[in-house]
Structures are given as C-alpha cells and as structure tokens.
Amino acid sequence: MDSPEQWLLSAEERGNAATAIPGWTEGNLAEPLLHGATYFERLVEEVRALDAGDHLFFTDWRGDPDELLRDGGPTVAELFTEAVKRGVCVRGLVWRSHAEQLTMNKESNRALDAEIEHGGGEVILDQRIRRMGSHHQKMVVLRHDEDPSQDIAFVGGIDLCYSRRDDADHGGDPQALRMAAAYGDTPPWHDVQLQVRGPAVHVLDTIFRERWDDPNSPDEDHPLAWVHDKLHRARLHADPLPPQLPPPPECGPHAVQNLRTYPAIRPPYDFAPRGERSVARGYTKAIKRARRLIYLEDQYMWSGEVARLFAEALADHPDLHLVVVVPRVPDQDGAFAERPQYVGRWQAIEMCQRAGQGRVHVYDVENHAGTPVYVHAKVCVVDDTWASVGSDNFNRRSWTHDSELSSTVLDSTLDPREPRDPAGTGDGARTFARDLRLALAREHLDLDPDGGEDELVLDPGRFVEVLEERAAALDAWHAGGRQGPRPPGRVRRHQAEKLPWFTRLWATPVYRLLDDPDGRPLRMRLKKDF
C-alpha cells in the first residue's frame, strides 16, 4: 500500500471545506469492544480516572440516567455527576427526540439532562436536525489536562441506555426496553463500540465542539418544543467550553478516519453548511476496493441505493463474497413498524443476490436458548484490510438524513497469518481488521474464544463455508424439532420476506418517506450522488 489515501478519504474527498477536522490521523491505538457490558465496564474505569480540570464530553441518541453500568452500579447519572463533583467539566449533547408513545425517548433524554444538570454538568437537548430526523451519534471523549497520553474516546453503536448491557452469552440487559415479542422480556442485544487512544481523540473532541458551538438554537424552527423546554426549564443555550487541550501523543499503529453524516438543513450548520456525507463517501471508496470478502453487521440493511454499491462490487469482481448479519425481525411488533422495513430489506438483499449469484450470505443470530439476538452493531470489514465501527446503518437515512459518526481503522501492521494477502492486490491483510472479523466469527460460530480454532475462518472462502455449514445444521436441528444435541453456532440463514403487492402498495411510500428518507440537496438526489 503506497498511502492510506488509497483507502481513506482525502480532505477534498470529504466534501466539506467548512470543518476543522483533518482527513485522518496516524499513530492511534484502536480496540473494538464487543458488547455493551464490556464497553460499560471500561467506561466506568476511565471516567473514574478523571480528576479536576479534566473533560468529559458525550453525545447520545438515547440516554437513561438510571441505566446500571455494572451490577450494583454506578448508573449513568451517578458516574457522570460523581465526575462533576471531582471538578471534571461534563458536557453532553443528546437528541431531544419525540414522545415515548412513539417508541422514542424524549422523556428518558430529558431525565438524563435533568439529573446531570442537577449535579452540576451541562446537557443540551439538541433538535438541530431535519424534520423526522435524529441525532444518532454515540460518543464519549475523556481528556486529561495534566497527562494527554491518558486521553481516550469511545465511539460506535452503543447508547448509554436500557437494553445495551448485554454480554457474549446474550441473556439480555435486566433493564430492558420493550421490543417485539420474539426477543422476549430481556431482549438479547449484540453491539460494538470502538475505543481509541492517540491523536484521533483530539479529532473527536473537535467534532463535539463543532456541534456544541453551533450558534443556532437547539430548538431552532421548533416553536412548540421551545415553549415546552422553557416551561420545563431545559437548557436552551450552551455555555462556552473550556479551551481545547493539546492533542495526545501518537501511541499505536492505526490510522483512524472519523466519518460523519450531517443533513443539509436551514439554518445551516456553521461547520457543515451544505451537510456532510463522508460516511457514504468513505464506505463507497472502501467497498469499491473489495475483491474477496465484505463482512457486514447492520441493524437494517434496507436501502436500495446503498445496496446498489454492494451489487456493483459483486458484479465487477467474481471472487467477491458478501456476508451480512442482521436482526431476524424488526425491533417492534405491528404492521406499521414491520412491513416498511421488510420492503426495504427485501429490495436490498434481492438486488445483491442477483448481482452475486451464490456469493451473498445473509444470516441472523440467536442465543443458545434459541431466542433471536437483536443485531444493533454497525460494523464493516473489507478484505481483512479496512474496518469501520460506527453509529450509521447501511441505509439512506444514515448516509444522508440523520447525524452519524463512524470511525474507520487502517492498521499499518501486516497480519502474518495466511492468507497474507487475501484480496491479491498487494495491500495485505491487516491485524486490526482481521482480528475484528475473527472475534465476531468466534462468537457467532461458537469457536474457541481464545482463538484456537481461527484456522477454520482465516481464509475468506473457508470462512463462508463454515458459516454455511453451521447455519444449515442449526436450521435443520430446529426443523427437526430440536432433537438431540444442539449443533455449534448461533447463525441461521436469514429469510427476507417479500410482501404481497397490496401490502407493498402502502408500505413502500411509508418506507421511502418515514423509514428511509433522503437528506441530500435536490441537486445531489437527481444526480444519485453522495
């Protein structure tokens, strides 16, 4: 590989000259944290290491103040207010959201705001977004004013809320959100967060500051919300942040690029006056380089425009396989919640399967009790070289309409295990990307958690064979009445449902307008460009 720019976006390719963040930073150390319980444990340790003069900045889609981060605590609110009492500057940006009756989280977010504000921190309920959109970024940035080498950040798909504190056994979070009946009383939840040290932490700090310092009101163009927040004494204006601390020193072999989605809105963001779609552009650049294997975990995978990118890669490269892990059923019961999602997913999967006959493998996951696991992770690994963990799903909403944040990792360390160059391009497999895929494979396939069976899945072709074998065996075991020992593995072949025409008649416009809207300027929509 001549330069990281072969895989990563240049500043010009990002398409947003107004932002202060660089194209990427080198010298970072990234670590994937599988499962909410792992992430929450690490978060407690790192927040409790903060002292007077340090900074704790966070963004969230949903926050529940009483969510336990460990058995017996602390809760989210306790952890953050304890930090305030030690003299830590605690600031948060949380989506203002909609009512709980719409299965959203306005009341929870307002409670988090109130508890942290009461403890001395500051939380802004932020509605600077497109109508029917959301702030979907999930990030915590911890800065040390006396020792920048201790700076750390967490970014990915895990909110500080109910249902997220699950582990590899997938028994679910005891503090559970109400979900579709198929997931039971404590829905199993699969998710991933990325821990980052090094100069990329300073970039994530800057991303938070850009949103915090935006001069528009958090309730801009929402007069009813403004009146409601006034009556409830919600914070409507952000106090200035303390001066930004210097970047932490280089500490590892990873180039990290932070990709974002911001919609085009009025009044515009100062830092993205025409929006930003670097999530879409970054994935597009990486997927066009794929030759052997795209491994994807995604909550939705339901947009035809996004699926077209994968379909074109499959058509152009006959040795390329696409492996996708998705939830078995949507998160909520009911025709209005389910049917539009089925429209989008069937279209996307069908498009990919037509382009890559026999090379598209779609699975869902269950725990050992047979309960489906809700796949909330947003992970992509391309040819064991490039990897991404973020908040964005593979749909048009995440790539154009909501605010999103994803971190891509390009490791300078060549992986010594065979095949060393699975794509045959000379770029070589990289340790971070391969280790991430293998860690997920061990869980989903019930392989030795210490890596003793990694030889079964190192080669992309063999990996696909093992997935197919174990999914087929588990499907057959269920079809046979679950007689005899349960076969190893947790993956089952996912069956995308094609709806009858009379259901598609109403579900399709709902899908396009509400589930998967388009946040691009009209000119870009017409050009089908991101």
Across the chain, how many H-helices and E-strands are there? 14, 18
Task: Report the pLDDT value the prediction gives residue 496, as an integer from 0 to 100.
Answer: 84
In tens, the pLDDT along 23-34 reads 999 999 999 999
In tens, the pLDDT along 210-264 reads 999 998 877 655 555 555 565 556 556 788 999 999 999 999 999 999 999 999 9
Q: Give yes or no for residue 450 having a pLDDT over 60.
A: yes
Q: Domain range spanning residue 129? A: 29-252
Comparing CA positions, the residue from 186, 192, 497 lying closest to residue 369 is 186
Instruction: State the CB neighbour count (10 A cutoff) for residue 412.
Output: 15
Instruction: Specify the residue for token string 């080198």.
Output: 26
Task: Report the pLDDT value the prediction gives residue 377, as an integer from 0 to 100.
Answer: 98
Comparing CA positions, the residue from 242, 235, 251, 238 lying closest to residue 56 is 242
> What's the rounded mean pLDDT across residues 110-129?
84
Q: Decide: 116 and 80 in contact? Cβ < 8 Å.
A: yes
Q: Give yes or no for residue 525 having a pLDDT over 90.
A: no
> What's the rounded mean pLDDT across residues 315-344?
94
- Reported as half-sphere exposure (CB side, CA atoms, 13 A), residue 356 has a value of 27
- The fraction of the chain above a pLDDT of 90, given in percent, is 81
How many domains does the chain fold into? 2
Q: Decide: 263 and 129 in contact? Cβ < 8 Å.
A: yes
Q: Do residue 239 and residue 369 come from a single domain?
A: no
Task: Report the pLDDT value the prediction gives residue 301, as an integer from 0 to 100.
Answer: 76
Task: Report the pLDDT value the prediction gives residue 99, as an integer from 0 to 100.
Answer: 47
Q: How far apart are CA 81 and CA 65, in angstroms?
A: 10
Comparing CA positions, the residue from 113, 131, 111 lying closest to residue 122 is 113
Q: Do residue 436 and residue 287 come from a single domain?
A: yes
Whether 492 is in a domain gets the answer yes
Q: Do residue 118 and residue 60 come from a single domain?
A: yes
Q: Do residue 204 and residue 352 come from a single domain?
A: no
Task: Give the helix ranges, DSSP H, for 371-459.
Answer: 396, 431-445
Between the CA atoms of 161, 137, 304 and 264, what dihedral angle is there, to the nearest 10 degrees?
140
Query: Global pTM?
Result: 0.95
Q: How far apart are CA 281 and CA 258, in angstroms?
A: 12
Task: Report the pLDDT value the prediction gives residue 118, as an integer from 0 to 100.
Answer: 77
Whether 528 is in a domain gets the answer no
Task: Report the pLDDT value the prediction gives residue 223, as an integer from 0 to 100.
Answer: 59
In tens, the pLDDT along 29-80 reads 999 999 999 999 999 999 999 999 999 999 999 999 999 999 999 999 999 9
Task: Report the pLDDT value the prediction gives residue 237, as an integer from 0 to 100.
Answer: 74
> What's the rounded mean pLDDT across residues 179-192?
97
In tens, the pLDDT along 68-114 reads 999 999 999 999 999 999 999 999 999 987 544 444 555 666 777 78
Q: Do residue 112 and residue 221 come from a single domain?
A: yes
Task: Report the pLDDT value the prediction gives residue 230, as an integer from 0 to 100.
Answer: 59
- The fraction of the chain above a pLDDT of 70, given in percent, is 94
CA 223 to chain CA mean position, Å: 31
Whether 15 is in a domain gets the answer no
Residue predicted with more confidence, 194 or 496 = 194
In tens, the pLDDT along 357-401 reads 999 999 999 999 999 999 999 999 999 999 999 999 999 999 999
Whether 269 is in a domain gets the answer no
Task: Report the pLDDT value the prediction gives residue 34, as an integer from 0 to 100.
Answer: 98
Q: Do residue 339 and residue 466 come from a single domain?
A: yes
Whether 24 is in a domain gets the answer no
Q: Decide: 381 and 436 in contact? Cβ < 8 Å.
A: yes
Q: How far apart are CA 380 and CA 259, in angstroms?
A: 13
Provide φ and ψ at 367, rounded to 5°: -85, 180
In tens, the pLDDT along 162-172 reads 999 999 999 99
Structure tokens belonging to residue 323: 């492996």
The CATH number of residue 373's host domain is 3.30.870.10
Bond prior to 327 in cis (omega within 30° of 0): no
Q: Do residue 324 and residue 226 come from a single domain?
A: no
Q: Do residue 312 and residue 447 come from a single domain?
A: yes
Q: How far apart are CA 366 and CA 191, in angstroms?
A: 14
> What's the rounded mean pLDDT across residues 162-190?
97
Whether 262 is in a domain gets the answer no
Q: How far apart are CA 357 and CA 351, in angstroms?
A: 10
Q: Decide: 399 and 279 in contact? Cβ < 8 Å.
A: yes
252, 284, 307 - which closes a domain: 252
Q: How far apart are CA 22 and CA 247, in angstroms?
A: 13
> What's the rounded mean pLDDT across residues 124-132?
88
Q: Decide: 464 and 420 in contact? Cβ < 8 Å.
A: no
Task: Report the pLDDT value the prediction gives residue 136, as an integer from 0 to 100.
Answer: 94
Whether 306 is in a domain gets the answer yes
Q: What is the mean pLDDT of the chain?
A: 92
Q: Do residue 303 and residue 378 come from a single domain?
A: yes
Whether 440 is in a domain gets the answer yes
Q: Which residues of 6-31 are buried (b: 16+ CB within 10 A; e: fewer)?
A: ebbbeeeebbbeebebebbbbbbbbb
Q: Do residue 167 and residue 57 come from a single domain?
A: yes
Bond prior to 273 in cis (omega within 30° of 0): no
Q: Do residue 94 and residue 157 come from a single domain?
A: yes
DSSP 106-165: HHHHHHHHHHHHHHT-EEEEE--S-TT--B---EEEEE-SS-GGG-EEEEES--BSTT--
Q: Do residue 376 and residue 460 come from a single domain?
A: yes
Neighbouring residues of 495: CB distance < 8 A, sequence distance ≥ 6: none
> What's the rounded mean pLDDT across residues 442-470?
97
